[in-house]
Structure 1
Amino acid sequence: MKLFTIGDSISQGLMSLGVARTHLAYSTWIARSLGLDVGDAFSSPAYRVPDYPAHGLLLDLEVVMRRLYLAFGSRIEGLEWAALLTEINRVLDEAEDYYERGEGAGPYRGGSVPWFHNVSVYGYDVADAWLVTPGLCKERIAGAPGAGDGFLHVPSASFYRTALRVLNPSRDPRFDGYSQLDWLDHHARGEGVESLLLWLGPNNAVGAAILLSIAATEDRPDRRPVSLSFDERTRAQWNLWMPDDFVAEYGELLDRIDFIQRRNEHPGWRVFVANVPHVTIAPLAMGVGDPLPGIPRYFPYYTYPPLAQGSLIEAGAPHLTAADARRIDATVDACNAQIERLLEERNARHRERRYHLVDVSGSLDRLAFRRTGGEPSYELPAYFKDGVTPPMDTRYYHVDRAGRRRAGGIVSLDGVHPSVIGQGLLAHEFLGVMKGAGVEGADPDRLPWPRIVASDTLYQDPIPLMEEVYEHEALAAAALAAHRHVFGGFTGRRGSIKDF
């Protein structure tokens, strides 16, 4: 097996809050650049990924905005505001019907697909790689409240439905105990796995920025999160792992992977590990006010783009302070230093470089727009040097009423996850490291950028209705309410990203 992927929402291809576009995720572009056939059928693809009809299991904001634009044009006026939520509900109903009661509630493609090469699932933190199994998902789906058609409802137990679809698409009871790591072990001991793409850890910090509140782990040596059960971790509602808690958990992950890889039938196996980005780069947590004197990377407040006005902050709009942002980033820095140390320890044990760091955090720091004063130092691939106007950047996606993109393009409409072009840039970073490690065929210059850009509908077909989000508090409030509902409201776990 040439390529296998373990990760969370970014690796799964979640975009604009829609689960998911795995066929457009960075690992899929890597597979294509390596010459692998990609698909979701059982018989032929060398890199098989799941499909998510009916707009996926959450709330695809791009689909919503396009439906609203089709219904109302670039302006929403008068009585049309009363029909706004009805249009949004129609999109949600399609997903709810499909995944709760339709074809999506049963085995994938009638049970003909036993597994996928990409087993990434949104909302995963590090320990979920071995804690979450199809059996657990079936239990949670069966006991989930809120199933049935409802107004503005996403499919019930969406996290567990997604994980079940990925980890046991055939619903074969033999695989009910298979976690992400169990599938890696299955393939490593079978045909062997040449390259493992591993990216877990962002959800051990990103929830604090998404929900604009910090619920840190306790940093107790006698009660590290890694020692707790899935249910205990769920009840704790943590969204920011303290460094010692993180290193205990990440070390356990690498120990388990290393044990599996020692039985890998492929003699040249390699693991490519991405680290944790600074979550305050994401435009969902937009800096408000002037940069702080002496520390220009930080702003007095961080909040959702529609609320990024000083008066709204003063009126009590949800936000993080500069001190909060610096605390999160300092924690991420400490965790990334530990990841690098842990990888070096394992390479020393093997007496050769089997584990390779992909410094996504550093790359995104160079790519960040506001944190660099509007002058990112990241060098975009040559494809973009021939005049993409305006340049792609990490600001929140902004299109005027004439359909001209004014800002953004690298991050999708949820303000957190990459757009298709953003996924291409991640593939570019991974392939550079893979090439340096000697993976046959790995070369960032082989990425099919014309195809990547053509697949990015936010770039190819901008949404003029976006201007309404910035000009009218009613639409901004509706979008924000839907966003917060999906990110944190399913089970009342306000600190958890698994409530997606």
Structure 2
Amino acid sequence: MKLFTLGDSISQGLMSLGVARTHLAYSTWIARALGVEVGDGFSSPAYRVPDYPAHGLLLDLEVVLRRLYLAFGSRIEGLEWAAFVTEINRVLDVAEDHYERGEGAGPYRGGSVPWFHNVSVYGYDVADAWLVTPALCEERIAAAPGAGDGFLHVPSASFYRTALRVLNPSRDPRLDGFSQLDWLAHHARGEGVESLLLWLGPNNAVGSAILLSIAATEDRPDRRPVSLSFDERTRAQWNLWMPDDFVAEYGELLDRIDTIMRRNEHPGWRVFVANVPHVTIAPIAAGVGDPRPGSPRYFPYYTYPPLAQGPRLVKAGAPHLTEMDARFIDATVDACNAQIAALIEERNARHRARRYHLVDISGSLDRLAYRRSGGEPTYEFPAYFKDGVAAPMDTRYYHVDRAGRRKAGGIVSLDGVHPSVIGQGLLAHEFLKVMKAAGVEGADPDRLPWPRIVASDTLYQDPIPLMEEVYEHEELAAAALAAHRHIFGGFQGRRGSIKDF
């Protein structure tokens, strides 16, 4: 097996709050660059990924905004804004029908697909790699309240429905105990896994930026999160792991992976480990006020982008983080990333070989950060962009004027957290640089199909002029963001917070 992927929402291909576009995720572009066939059915065995019809689970914001634009153009006046809520409900109804009562509630493609090469699931924190199983998902789906055609409801138990679709697509009872790591073990002992892409950990921090509030772990040696049950962790609703809590959990993850890979049938196996980005870079948390001196730049407040035109709304009670909050979150992430690097080196020393390779996504995104760099990012884009074929883009929140001209953004999708298709391509570029240096046969960032990646990015190819309307109406933006926050906060169908998104 050339490639196998363990991860969370980014690796799954969640974009614009819609689950998911796995065929456009970074690992899929890596597979194509390696010359591996990609598909969503059993007939494409080289790199198989699930698809998510009916607008996917959760709420695809791009679908909603494009429908509103078709109905009303670039201006929505007066009572027409009621159509915003109605359109959201229509999109959600399609997903509810499909995933609660329709084809999406049963085995994937009639049970013809036994497993996928990408087993990433949105909402996963580190320990979910071994704690979440199909049996747990089926139990929670059966017990979920609110199944049925509700108003503004995502499919019930959406997190569990998604995980079940990924971990046991055929609904084979013999596979009810298979977690992400169990699938890795199955393939390592079978045909062998040459390259493992591992990216878990962002959800142990990013919820603090998404919900604009910090719920840190307790940092108690006698009660590390890794020692707790799934239900105990769920009830705790943490969204930021303290470094010692994180290293205990991440060390357990790497120990389990190392045990599996030592029995790998592929003799030249490697693991490519991405670290945790600075979550305050995500445009969902936009800086407000005059930046503080120093580099990187920090702002007095952080709030949702349409509310970030000035400090008035923040001071009036809009959700926000302070400068000290942002610095604390970033310092915590730095400490966790230092632990990841140390854990990797420890395992390489044990093997007396470089089996584990760090992919410094955090550093790459720091160089991409627009506002934090004072509008002068230092990231070196692939040659395709240097040739002027594609217009420049940045990490600000997506903004398009009424004439359809993009004014900002392009790397992050409409939810302000997850990469756009082009952003996913840049992640693939970073992984492939490390894979090439490690000697993976065929790994070359220059082999990424950039014309196809850019053509697949509908936000780039067909900008949405309705964005200007949202930016110009603070009250409407506040109402839209309240709905956005509500879905982010409860989307998993298992937790009351976004702590491990």
Q: Is 2:295 the partner of 1:295?
A: yes
367 and 33 in structure 1: CA distance in 2 versus 1, 3 angstrom threshold = same
* 1:340-391 superposed Cα distances (whole Å, 9 cap, x missing partner): 0000000000000000000000000001000100000000001111226751
Aligned residues of 2:157 and 2:493 also touching (Cα < 8 A): no
TM-score, scaled to structure 2: 0.98
Decide whether the 8 Å contact of 1:491 with 1:499 is kept in 2.
Answer: no
Name whichever of 283-292 and 381-390 sits farther off: 381-390
- Answering whether residue 160 of structure 2 is matched by residue 160 of structure 1, we say yes
Question: 1:5/1:464 Cα in 2 relative to 1: closer, same or farther (>3 Å)?
Answer: same
Deviation (angstroms), 1:217? 0.3
1:309 shift after superposition: 3.5
CA contact (8 A) 1:208 1:495 kept: no
Alpha-carbon distance change, 129 to 296 in structure 1, aligned in 2, over 3 angstroms: closer
Distance 1:362 1:498, change over 3 A: closer
Residue 75 (structure 1) shift:
0.5
Tell me the alpha carbon deviations over residues 298-343 of structure 1, each in whole angstroms, 9 at most, x when there is no partner.
1000000011133x00100000000000000000000000000000
Distance 1:179 1:216, change over 3 A: same
The separation in 1 between residues aligned to 2:249 and 2:256, in whole angstroms, is 11
Tell me the CA shift for residue 40 of structure 1: 1.0
The farther-off stretch of 230-239 and 468-477 is 468-477
Instruction: Extract unaligned runs of 5+ from structure 1.
Output: none
Alignment of 1:224-263 (within 5 A): 224-263=224-263
For residues 100 and 471 of structure 2, what CA distance do their matches in structure 1 show? 34
Contact 1:16 1:415 in 2 (8 A): yes
CA deviations 1:391-442 (Å, max 9, x no partner) are 1100000100000111100000000000000000000000000000000000
| Contact 1:124–1:498 (Cα < 8 Å) also in 2 | no
- The two structures have a TM-score, normalised by structure 1, of 0.98
1: CA distance, partners of 2:430 / 2:46: 22
Counterparts of 1:265 and 1:68 in 2: how far apart (Å)? Answer: 52
CA distance in 2, matches of 1:187, 1:426: 25
Shift of 1:77: 1.2
Equivalent pair of 1:211/1:494 in contact (CA under 8 Å): no
Q: Which runs of 5+ in 2 are unaligned?
A: none
**Counterparts of 2:339 and 2:448, CA distance in 1:** 31
Contact 2:206 2:500 survives alignment (8 Å): no
1:295 and 1:384, CA in 2 relative to 1: closer, same or farther beyond 3 A? closer
1:96 and 1:162 mapped to 2: Cα distance?
13
- What is the correspondence of 1:39-438 to structure 2 with a 5 Å cutoff? 39-294=39-294, 296-310=296-310, 312-387=313-388, 390-438=391-439
Change (3 A) 1:134 1:376: same
The offset of 1:483, in angstroms, is 1.0
In 1, are the aligned partners of 2:4 and 2:118 still within 8 Å (CA)? yes
Measure how far apart 1:85 and its partner are. 1.0
Residues 226 and 499 (structure 1 numbering): CA distance in 2 closer, same or farther, change over 3 Å? Answer: closer
Is the alpha carbon distance of 1:79 and 1:497 closer, same or farther for their aligned partners in structure 2, counting shifts above 3 Å? Answer: closer
Cα deviation for residue 44 of structure 1 reads 2.9
For 1:262 and 1:166, the matched residues in 2 are separated by 25
Distance in 1 separating the partners of 2:15 and 2:436 = 27
| Counterpart Cα distance in 2 of 1:224 and 1:107 | 37
Question: In the TM superposition, what is the alpha-carbon distance from 1:498 to its structure 2 partner?
Answer: 6.8
SS at match of 2:10: helix
CA separation of 1:465 and 1:275: change in aligned 2, threshold 3 A = same
Query: How many angstroms does 1:94 deviate by?
Result: 0.5
In structure 2, the CA distance between the partners of 1:499 and 1:153, relative to structure 1 (3 Å rule), is farther
SS in 2 for 1:372: coil
User: 1:300, 1:321 within 8 Å by CA — same for their partners in 2?
Assistant: yes
SS at match of 1:235: helix
SS in 1 for 2:357: strand
Corresponding position: 1:453 with 2:449: no
Alpha-carbon offset, residue 13 of structure 1: 0.1
Cα 1:388–1:457 change in 2 (3 A) is same
Contact 1:5 1:120 in 2 (8 A): yes
1:73 deviates by 0.7
1:371 partner SS = coil
Deviation at 1:87, TM superposition (A): 1.4
CA contact (8 A) 2:490 2:497 kept: no
Q: Is the 8 A contact 1:213 1:495 kept in 2?
A: no
Q: Residues 99 and 105 of structure 1 are in contact (CA less than 8 Å); yes or no, is this contact kept in structure 2?
A: yes
Distance 1:169 1:14 in 2: 19
Tell me by how many angstroms 1:490 deviates: 5.3
CA distance in 2, matches of 1:268, 1:63: 43
Secondary structure, aligned partner of 1:302: strand
Aligned residues: CA RMSD: 1.4
Deviations 1:194-228 (A, max 9, x none): 00000000000000000000000000000000000
Q: Which string of whole-angstrom CA distances, capped at 9 and with x for unpartnered residues, describes residues 31-70 of structure 1?
A: 0000010001113330000000011110100001001101
Structure 1 residue 295 displacement after superposition: 5.2
Deviations 1:233-255 (A, max 9, x none): 00001000000000000000000
Give the superposition deviation at 1:443.
Answer: 0.1
Separation (CA, whole Å) in 2 of partners of 1:491 and 1:53: 18
What displacement does 1:492 show? 9.3
Change beyond 3 A, Cα 1:246–1:433? same
> Which shows bigger deviation, 480-489 or 162-171?
480-489
Distance in 2 between residues matched to 1:493 and 1:186, nearest whole Å: 28
**Aligned partners of 2:447, 2:480: CA distance in 1, in Å?**
38
Q: Percent identity?
A: 91
Note the alpha carbon deviations across 1:99-138, whole angstroms, 9 max, x for none: 0111000000000000000000000000000000000000
Which secondary structure state, in structure 2, belongs to the residue aligned with residue 336 of structure 1? helix
- Equivalent pairs, count: 499
Q: Is the 8 A contact 1:243 1:334 kept in 2?
A: yes
1-structure distance, mates of 2:44, 2:412: 32
Q: Cα offset for 1:290?
A: 1.1
- Cα distance change, pair 380–272 in 1 and its aligned pair in 2 (3 A): same
Change in Cα spacing, 1:491 to 1:42, as seen in structure 2 (3 Å) is closer
Residues 490 and 496 in structure 2, CA contact (< 8 A), matched pair in contact too: no
Tell me if structure 1 keeps the 8 A contact 2:203–2:499. no
